[in-house]
Amino acid sequence: MKLSVIIPAAGSATRYGSDKLAQDLGGRPVLVRTVEFFSKRNEVAQIIVVGPPDDLDGFKERYGPALSFLGVTIVAGGRIDRWESVQNALDMVDADSTHVAIHDAARPAITDELMDRLVEAAAVHEAVIPGVDLSGTIKRVSQDRIDAAESDDLADAILGDLGKRSTSGRIVSETIDRDGLIEVQTPQIFSRELLVQAYAGSRHEGATDDSCVVENHGSPVVVVDGDPINIKITVPADLDRIRLLMGIRSQSGRPSHKRF
């Protein structure tokens, strides 16, 4: 197997509130930590990082030296959907690569054990993704939020919004049977030929990951066991969990319990 790795890093990180890929993780930015994992894998022959198209120069200034040292190629991503970034990177994949892996830039806690499972399965199947079973109760809720706090009409009349706690919630519309449902992770590995064919189609709108594109192409996707440690950083609390699992001190200097 000769593997090209695509790491989309062109998102806006609106839920995190700042550039989550630049956050410190043991002395190096999250993005560099993620890339370092793949740079040490024997089957990886190429790493492509996809940066924001409207600030590519700034992105290169922030990460370019470290990524260049790791042999990374940086390309501009899409402006709307994630799949556009992957499509741009596919044009840069080496012609002699047999497989392509796509991995979230904000998943720095991937382990060799998980990667070994994926590579072994990808040697047999053309499309392989990791997934973990859902353990909690799953509910569908309304899109609109309602005021979930008790109101004191007299206090509101006197103080208005001053000192008023803002609490909102959403209405449950149904409870979903979680039997057969999984949470999908990355990296997702595909044969290069299949992924190029799938992206050559036109049914990409609404695709939230690359396996969706392959599914829309009509090809089967095989799920192997993921890893609960393989957390994607979406909010600051996720980064705290990863630091704890990896035994890395937080920026406040508090020690964590080492997990691996």
pLDDT 10s digits, 10-62:
876 667 778 899 999 999 999 999 999 999 999 999 999 999 999 999 999 99
Which segments of the chain are extended strands (E)? 3-8, 24-25, 28-29, 44-51, 72-76, 99-102, 127-133, 138-141, 146-147, 168-169, 172-176, 182-184, 188-191, 222-225
Residue 234: which H helix or E strand, with range? none
68 strand-pairing partners:
none
| Region class of 206: left (phi > 0), else alpha (psi between -120 and 50), else beta | left
Mean pLDDT of the chain: 88
Q: Which pLDDT score is estimated for 8?
A: 95
Give the number of other CB atoms < 10 A from CB of residue 119. Answer: 20
Q: Which pLDDT score is estimated for 162?
A: 55
Secondary structure of the chain: what % helix, strand, coil (to 5)? 30, 20, 45
Q: Which residues of 213-235 are buried (b: 16+ CB within 10 A; e: fewer)?
A: bbbbbebebebbebbebbbbbee
Angle, vertex CA 195, rays to CA 218 and CA 92, nearest 5: 160
Task: pLDDT band for 80, please (50, 70, 90 cuts).
Answer: confident
Identity at 254, one-letter amino acid code: R
Predicted TM-score (pTM) of this structure: 0.86
Select from 200, 186, 195 the least CA-distant residue to 214.
195
Distance separating alpha carbons of residues 15 and 99, to the nearest angstrom? 32
Task: pLDDT band for 256, please (50, 70, 90 cuts).
Answer: very low
Mean pLDDT, rounded, for 167-174: 86
**229 to each of 28, 53, 92, 112, 189, how far by Cα in Å?**
19, 31, 31, 12, 19
Asked if 104 contacts 232 with a C-beta cutoff of 8 angstroms, the reply is yes
Domains identified in the chain and CATH numbers: 3-136+185-246 (3.90.550.10), 140-176 (no CATH)
pLDDT 10s digits, 55-79:
999 999 999 999 999 999 999 998 8
Task: pLDDT band for 166, please (50, 70, 90 cuts).
Answer: low
